[in-house]
């Protein structure tokens, strides 16, 4: 008898959900994925922590009631570093958070000088400082909080515009640090950034760029033990855009390229 395949809700302020969901889909193609893109709430990296927590908990509860997922991935570093305890208390399903990949970066780095590129929210969170203290105490961590790159990537996915020098200002920011020349590992601690990793790499020659996507897919696999019969059929993938604007033609095409064949609107209120 065909078993039901679990559904995972991958929730972000925008297209960052696609980088995390893409990793989950390639590792676990039988899962049904619902990508929730909170266009109305974007950018989370600029919200005050308390308001962001309230907004995410309310929105996640409404999404969970409507879509009945088996697990929720909070596919956003800016949100996860602020809201995980409250979100887990709000929902009755498992919640997987995406937080900066400081620990693997500290292990990987030979020079012990690592970069952290995130939104302004993520770099200032107590959660992030604690991660550095716990896992990178022997490293010099060069942090750059940038509020411009996620909106550029969001626009690129919605409208197809990307300036050829995108990211050049970030290399300049890092280069101001006295130990910048020694930096050999850079943590992309915003889920939007891996979507632009190949391009960013050209601005950071010789530096390994790392993110949390693959680790998140492994964590989802551990939490959702799927019976062998349910792994045979391909899972469905759909996008839910929270707000008032349907997917543009450019975004629709990008979703389809990823096998996300349906998209629908979900009211932001």
Contact residues: ligand DGL, CB under 6 A: 12-13, 16, 42-45, 76-78, 119, 122, 150, 190-192
What is the distance, to the nearest Å, from the Cα of residue 99 to the centroid of all Cα atoms in its chain? 8
Distance (Å, whole) CA 215 – CA 211 = 9
Give me the least distance between CB of 126 and ligand DGL, in Å please.
16
Among residues 57, 139, 140, 190, which one is catalytic?
Answer: 190
The answer to whether residue 139 is catalytic is no
Q: For residue 70, which phi and psi values (nearest 5 degrees)?
A: -90, -20
Quick one: angle between helices 213-223 and 16-27, nearest 10? 50
> Nearer Cβ to ligand DGL, position 16 or 69?
16
- Alpha carbon dihedral 134, 27, 235, 85, in 10-degree steps, equals 0
> Nearer Cβ to ligand DGL, position 20 or 207?
20
Distance (Å, whole) CA 185 – CA 114 = 5
Among residues 57, 76, 140, 246, which one is catalytic?
Answer: 76
Give me the least distance between CB of 78 and ligand DGL, in Å please.
3
Give me the least distance between CB of 93 and ligand DGL, in Å please.
21
93: CB partners within 8 A, 6+ apart: 64, 69, 70, 71, 72
For residue 197, give the nearest of 174, 172, 166 by alpha carbon.
166
> Nearer Cβ to ligand DGL, position 5 or 25?
25
Give me the least distance between CB of 12 and ligand DGL, in Å please.
5
Contact predicate 21/240, CB 8 Å: no
- Pure H helices in 37-192: 49-67, 77-90, 102-108, 120-124, 126-135, 149-159, 168-175
Distance (Å, whole) CA 211 – CA 78 = 14
For residue 268, give the nearest of 245, 242, 247, 239 by alpha carbon.
242
Locate 87 and state its tokens. 């979100």
The answer to whether residue 76 is catalytic is yes
Give me the least distance between CB of 77 and ligand DGL, in Å please.
4
> Nearer Cβ to ligand DGL, position 6 or 216?
216
Give me the least distance between CB of 138 and ligand DGL, in Å please.
26
> Nearer Cβ to ligand DGL, position 154 or 184?
154
Residue positions counted in the chain: 269
> Nearer Cβ to ligand DGL, position 184 or 211?
211
The residues annotated with a catalytic role in the active site are 76, 190
């Amino acid at each position: 008898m065909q078993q039901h395949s679990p559904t995972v809700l991958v929730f972000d302020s925008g297209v960052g959900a696609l980088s995390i969901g893409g990793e989950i889909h390639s590792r676990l193609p039988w899962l049904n994925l619902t990508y929730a893109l909170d266009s109305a709430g974007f950018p989370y990296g600029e919200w005050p922590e308390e308001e962001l927590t309230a907004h995410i908990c309310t929105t996640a509860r409404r999404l969970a009631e409507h879509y009945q997922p088996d697990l929720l991935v909070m596919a956003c570093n800016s949100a996860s570093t602020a809201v995980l305890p409250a979100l887990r208390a709000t929902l009755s399903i498992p919640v997987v958070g995406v937080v900066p990949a400081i620990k693997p970066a500290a292990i990987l780095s030979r020079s012990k000088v690592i970069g952290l590129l995130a939104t302004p929210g993520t770099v200032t969170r107590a959660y992030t400082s604690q991660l550095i203290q716990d896992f990178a105490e022997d490293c010099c961590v060069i942090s750059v909080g940038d509020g411009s790159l996620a909106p550029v990537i969001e626009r690129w996915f919605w409208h197809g515009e990307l300036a050829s020098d995108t990211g050049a200002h970030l290399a300049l920011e890092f280069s101001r640090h006295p130990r910048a020349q020694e930096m050999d590992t850079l943590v992309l601690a915003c889920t939007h950034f891996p979507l632009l990793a190949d391009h960013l790499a050209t601005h950071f020659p010789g530096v390994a760029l790392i993110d949390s996507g693959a680790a998140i897919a492994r964590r989802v696999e551990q939490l959702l033990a799927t019976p062998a019969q349910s792994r045979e059929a391909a899972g469905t993938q759909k996008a839910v855009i929270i707000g008032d604007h349907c997917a543009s033609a450019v975004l629709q095409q990008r979703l389809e390229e990823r096998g996300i064949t349906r998209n629908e609107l979900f009211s932001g209120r």
